[in-house]
Amino acid sequence: MVVLHARPDMNWDKLARACREILPARAVVAAKQELLSYDSDGLTLHRWQPPLVVLPETTDQVVALLTLCHQEGVPFVARGSGTGLSGGAVSEEPALVIATSRMRSILDLDLANRRITVQPGVINSWVTRAVAGAGFYYAPDPSSQVVCSIGGNVAENSGGVHCLKYGVTSNHVLEMEVVLPDGTLTRLGSGLAETPELDLRGVFIGSEGTLGIATAITLRLLRSPQSVAVLLADFTSMESAGEAVRLVTAAGVQPAGMEIMDNFTLNAVNDLFGRKEYPEDAVAVLLIELDGQEQEVVAAMEIADGLCRQAGARTIRRATDPADCALLWKGRKSAFAAVGRITPTYYVQDGVVPRSALPQVLRAIEELSRRYNLPVANVFHAGDGNLHPLILYRAQDDDVAERVQALGADILRLCLEAGGSITGEHGVGNDKRCYLDWMFTPEDLATMQLVRQAFDPKGLANPGKIFPTPARCGESQRRQQSSPTPSPVLQTMEVF
Ligand SMILES: Cc1cc2nc3c(=O)[nH]c(=O)nc-3n(C[C@H](O)[C@H](O)[C@H](O)COP(=O)(O)OP(=O)(O)OC[C@H]3O[C@@H](n4cnc5c(N)ncnc54)[C@H](O)[C@@H]3O)c2cc1C
């Protein structure tokens, strides 16, 4: 089922004037050069400059803006920090961008009940910073946590290193204040553990801005663990690293995080640091973080160490002191930046495979990388099989966007063939909407559209996202048959 909405021609100057009735003039951005900074999110492959951006500070202002959009039939896009990697915060169809970067207050802190309520523009790492002194923290920790917003995290149902043990954003959001696309203010979820309503909170989380705008979010806080330890093991084959992940998981040890970097990435990190942080001939390095009560962590560390050696680890480094732990994590946390030094233009793919399929899927990605003559670096959440192949490209090369996207699509096909998913945590956005029906039947998609229409009958909220449209994606049947054909010539991979 495809839902298309015809729109009248929009008079953006008139809309800007109406927005200035709601907001101070400085909170309405209409100048072309100022709009430049809103023309993409973290996925710079797609760029669309919006006609108008507004910067509300309060829920009342968001209510007034969405009421105006509803009356005038204006499509709108919520924007947090713009770090999304699926083109969610930009719109191909001209739309009003409602940025939450001035909604950055902590509204309530309730340590007795371990919860905090924040405005959507609050940065992820600020939440932990606000409560760390009292011995608490907020668990979901995307690698972008020093810049991404809680509103964006909710919309994408973001994950992170510690989500292996503690769950993703949806496991940590108790309640939300949401402005629906017609301007209605509502609350989804509850601060209590059990309540009888339909779980609309769960429906909203991960809906990528297509059901309305979250204006206040109540998050669950966790007690900081008594003890944390990190282990770093290096391997001469991806199979051995994968086997270590399998053995640790099978032994019943529950790491807080398990991350792998491949040879390309670890050498990019070595170059960034200007020293051999990791053995340059290692095929993979595995980081395992263990947390909990001190004795439990010591015991788990021994088990994990033994199992990594059993799987073939060459060397193992351990850290228990917070500064040493941070040092072991530093390379992983700098991985995207390190790859960005080799080429500032790269496309981060996000697929999921069953853990057991990791080695064979990574081998197949290597093969695809050679065929397309595009280098691919791999850094991923090994514990939950969430791959992040980084496809490196030169923006000035001919047909590069098509080649990069074709390689990305082939990687997702591999994930699906291995029994996985086309996205783990970065969402579908506009980037992957043409692949959604690789995973779901027309009936599945029609059911999802019914939910979306119930929230947004006029289709104003984040138009063109998530669902395939014939105009953008072609006929579904044809697309499924025509796998993008990589170059038949196997070329030597060129690293630029
Ligand atoms: C270097 C790097 C590392 C990353 N690492 C991770 C990672 O480890 N794990 C992970 O999951 N992601 C990761 N990401 C992706 C990205 O940071 C997350 O998706 C993040 O949640 C986006 O937040 P944002 O504030 O930047 O949202 P934006 O990019 O501004 O928006 C993302 C989506 O959220 C919607 N939205 C924003 N605010 C609201 C709101 N208040 N109400 C409703 N909808 C809203 C937008 O419309 C859009 O669809 C990474 C990105 C980068 C660049």
Residue 482's alpha-carbon distances to 410, 430, 431, 476, 478, in angstroms, are 11, 20, 18, 10, 6
pLDDT tens, residue by residue, 459-476: 999 999 999 987 778 765
pLDDT tens, residue by residue, 429-444: 999 999 999 999 999 9
In whole angstroms, what is the distance from residue 153 CA to residue 426 CA?
A: 10
Q: Pick the closest to residue 348 from 267, 271, 417, 405 (CA basis).
A: 405
For residue 156, the CA-to-ligand 1 centroid distance in Å is 6
For residue 369, the CA-to-ligand 1 centroid distance in Å is 27
In whole angstroms, what is the distance from residue 181 CA to residue 71 CA?
A: 10
- Residue 462 region by backbone torsions, left for phi larger than 0, else alpha for psi between -120 and 50, else beta: left
For residue 148, the CA-to-ligand 1 centroid distance in Å is 6
Tokens matching residue 407 = 């390689």
Helical pair 294-311 and 238-250, crossing angle rounded to 10 deg: 140
For residue 252, the CA-to-ligand 1 centroid distance in Å is 32
Question: What residue owns the CA closest to ligand 1's atom 21?
Answer: 153
CB 172 within 8 A of CB 201: no
Q: Strands 96-99 and 76-79, how do they pair?
A: parallel
Q: Is the CB of 334 under 6 A from ligand 1?
A: no
For residue 142, the CA-to-ligand 1 centroid distance in Å is 9
End-to-end CA distance of the chain: 44
**Structure confidence at residue 8 (pLDDT):** 74
Q: Is the CB of 170 under 6 A from ligand 1?
A: no
CB 410 within 8 A of CB 371: no
Q: Is the CB of 423 under 6 A from ligand 1?
A: no
| Length of the chain, in residues | 496
**Structure confidence at residue 287 (pLDDT):** 96
**Structure confidence at residue 413 (pLDDT):** 95
For residue 207, the CA-to-ligand 1 centroid distance in Å is 12
For residue 382, the CA-to-ligand 1 centroid distance in Å is 21
Q: Is the CB of 88 under 6 A from ligand 1?
A: yes
Which ligand 1 atom sits nearest the alpha carbon of residue 168? 11
Question: What residue owns the CA closest to ligand 1's atom 13?
Answer: 142
Output the pTM of the full model: 0.93
Pocket test for ligand 1, best of 148, 178, 332, 423 (most atoms within 8 A of CB): 148
Tokens matching residue 270 = 């070595």
What type of residue is 259?
E
Mark the ranges of the chain whose per-residue pLDDT is less than 50. Answer: 477-479, 481-496
Q: Is the CB of 155 under 6 A from ligand 1?
A: yes
Q: Pick the closest to residue 162 from 138, 144, 146 (CA basis).
A: 138
For residue 129, the CA-to-ligand 1 centroid distance in Å is 19
Q: Is the CB of 169 under 6 A from ligand 1?
A: no
3-state SS assignment for residue 291: strand
**Structure confidence at residue 370 (pLDDT):** 94
**Structure confidence at residue 396 (pLDDT):** 87
| Helix H or strand E segment including 356 | none
Which ligand 1 atom sits nearest the alpha carbon of residue 212? 43
Q: Is the CB of 122 under 6 A from ligand 1?
A: no
Kindly report the backbone phi and psi dihedral angles of residue 419, in degrees, each rounded to the nearest multiple of 5, phi listed first.
90, 25
